[in-house]
Structure 1
Amino acid sequence: MLLSSSYFKTRKLQDLVENQTSYSTDDACMHIFETHQKAQKVQLTFDNLVLASMIEGRKHMHRLDKSTYDFVPGETVIMPAERTMCIDFPDAQKSIPTRCLALELNKDQVSKVVHHLNETQGRLDGSLWQADFDHWHFKHDQAIQSLVQRLIFLFTENHPSKDFFVRNMIQELIIRLLQQANRENYLEIEKDKFKGIKRIEHVSKHIRTHLNSDLSIEKLSSLACMSSSHFYKTFKNETGLSPTQFINKVRVEKAMSLLRTTDMDLTEVYMACGFNNRSYFNRMFKRHYKRNPGEIKA
């Protein structure tokens, strides 16, 4: 992600660790933090739900359960209100700073979006959409990456309609986050996160366990006991991805796992994951990981 020229023109660099520049609208507040030297166990706490996205560099994050993980560009961490983040900056230096944005979301606006979804796009299983993002660390899809990038420019420019623009984009961002959280659940269905196998859940499990079989819309909609058009619409509403996008996501993630953990060559990997040709496999893999599969195997 990129920072706008207006940010660099107006920001004041006063602290070498987590120098803070803040922008606000009626519904949200965005902070950009810069760190120019190595540091450990830096703590941050916010009053609202926070979406933190890496712009440049690497942070090392500590969870409450004492597990740790690296936080890099192209990823987001969502933290509940009043939850302290503990952060290390192992690589930060003056010539290569670490930069991160923290978007504080107004609780009332999040509630309104969730209420709207429950009124207009009820979930297939009858359960309610809920904004329950308890310390959620995830990789951006293209839509969320684009939204976060656009929000950086909207907050930092001095446009008379900024509040209106930001409000609409945040509404879209919340909906896409809910869909991605739902999609993550489906991708991890084998971990028994669900108490029962419902139609879309049943299909997602079938996809994961039958990557080399017929995964056409006709076949999948039949498994869900729906018409093809209703299945397609319902699947995308529940997960934020079309069935084909979901299948490719599962396939390239399995391919990455095989490349890292086995001695299989590239042909064996893409065939094991259900791809029919090397060119399409390479294109889908690079779209998801921004790297060629051959780089992983090298």
Structure 2
Amino acid sequence: MQHNQLLKVLPFSSTKELNTLVENRRAFTLQHFELNIFETYEIERQVPLQFTDLVIINMIKGKKVMHLSDKIAFDYQPGETLLLPEYTRMKIDFPEAQLASPTQCTAITVAEEMIQDVVQQLNAFYPKQQEKSNWSFQLDKFHFSNNAELVALTNRLFEVSLSGNLHKEALANLVLKELLIRIMQIQGLLVLDENANTNNSEFAYLKRYIQENIAEKINVDKLCERAGMSKSSLCRAFRTELGVSPMEFVIRERIAYAKKILAQSKSVKTACFSAGFSDINYFVRLFKQREGITPGQYIMAG
């Protein structure tokens, strides 16, 4: 279980703006992307949808069931993002939508030239550490939970796109570029989580080292020694490719391990010390900050 970071609910359509009760659409078109806001006010199933560009989909309110080609149908909830390639065919169920409690979802379609510009700039000026590895979207990691940074950027993009700001095209492009980079970093973390045992990158090596020594004291100096990198090089690599600091990466691994111990032992104290935390109060505060609930609540929910 993980607490998903939620986006702000956008203003709903006025009565005059409603053309349909199923996937009513408002579009805000800018130079390199289009923000679409969809609202549904009644239960419906198998509603088809397709976009001609890569699309970032954000569930804001309510629930959908997504049917994508060659994939098992899945619930789509607030606090989650989808990244889908152009021409992906979708069929969508709205099992709970009603007039008094409509669903709200956004779809940001991104022009190919914007994507190429961001990817080329990253590969030219911030090449990845691993040889023969380039920046790109991991389209098999298309469904992920929001984090605080992703939420802040997406909310900012909405705010700029809906504003009457004289410079909104320029501002929106800057925010969108950062959002695309953040998504690639999140996907990089997901790939690392999945392939740490077979991946030979420095990050995978350090991840295995952290997991094998999770209860020990681990600091940046030890990570530098293991990776054979200077502190500045290591910190820059983590920030650039994964969007986190080395110690934030260690905390992620400790929290993930603590969740396993909580599920097995049902003991906050055992999970705390087994995961390498030395202070229970600090562990509880940190766990709640990252997961949205306390360790004790996590035990009860399990």
TM-score by length of 2: 0.90
- RCO comparison, higher one (Cα < 8 Å, 6+): 2
Alpha-carbon offset, residue 131 of structure 1: 2.8
Q: 1:91 to 1:122 in 2, by over 3 A?
A: same
Please, which of 59, 65, 72 is the counterpart of residue 64 of structure 2? 59
Number of aligned positions between the proteins? 293
Q: 2:203 aligned with 1:200, yes or no? A: yes
Aligned equivalents of 1:135, 1:11: Cα separation in 2: 39
Pairs within 5 Å for 1:243-254: 243-254=246-257
Q: 2:244 aligned with 1:241, yes or no? A: yes
Q: 1:72 to 1:208 in 2, by over 3 A?
A: farther
Alpha-carbon offset, residue 134 of structure 1: 3.9
Please, which of 117, 134, 142 is the counterpart of residue 136 of structure 1? 142
Q: 2:186 aligned with 1:180, yes or no? A: yes
Aligned equivalents of 1:223, 1:160: Cα separation in 2: 51
- Segments of structure 1 that go 5 or more residues without pairing to the other structure are none
1:115 corresponds to: 120
- Segments of structure 2 that go 5 or more residues without pairing to the other structure are 1-6
1:40 corresponds to: 45
TM-score by length of 1: 0.91
Alpha-carbon offset, residue 251 of structure 1: 2.3
Quick check: 2:44–2:95 contact (8 Å CA) kept in 1?
Answer: yes
1:23 corresponds to: 28
Alpha-carbon offset, residue 102 of structure 1: 0.5
Alpha-carbon offset, residue 46 of structure 1: 0.2
Q: 2:219 aligned with 1:219, yes or no? A: no
Aligned equivalents of 1:253, 1:56: Cα separation in 2: 28
Q: 1:67 to 1:209 in 2, by over 3 A?
A: farther
| CA shift digits 1:18-77 (9 cap, x unpaired) | 111111100000101111122222221000000001111122223433423222222101
Q: 2:104 aligned with 1:99, yes or no? A: yes
Quick check: 2:137–2:187 contact (8 Å CA) kept in 1?
Answer: no
1:210 corresponds to: 213
Please, which of 157, 166, 178 is the counterpart of residue 163 of structure 2? 157
Aligned equivalents of 2:53, 2:16: Cα separation in 1: 23
Please, which of 120, 125, 130 is the counterpart of residue 130 of structure 2? 125
Alpha-carbon offset, residue 155 of structure 1: 1.4
Q: 1:91 to 1:251 in 2, by over 3 A?
A: farther
Aligned equivalents of 2:290, 2:157: Cα separation in 1: 22
Quick check: 2:196–2:207 contact (8 Å CA) kept in 1?
Answer: no
SS at match of 1:133: coil
SS at match of 2:278: coil
SS at match of 1:102: strand
SS at match of 1:167: helix
| Further displaced range: 150-159 or 272-281 | 272-281
1:146 corresponds to: 152
| CA shift digits 1:218-253 (9 cap, x unpaired) | 111111011222212212212110112112222223
Query: Which consecutive segments of 4 or more residues in structure 1 shift more than 6 A?
Result: none
| CA shift digits 1:167-186 (9 cap, x unpaired) | 11011111111111112212
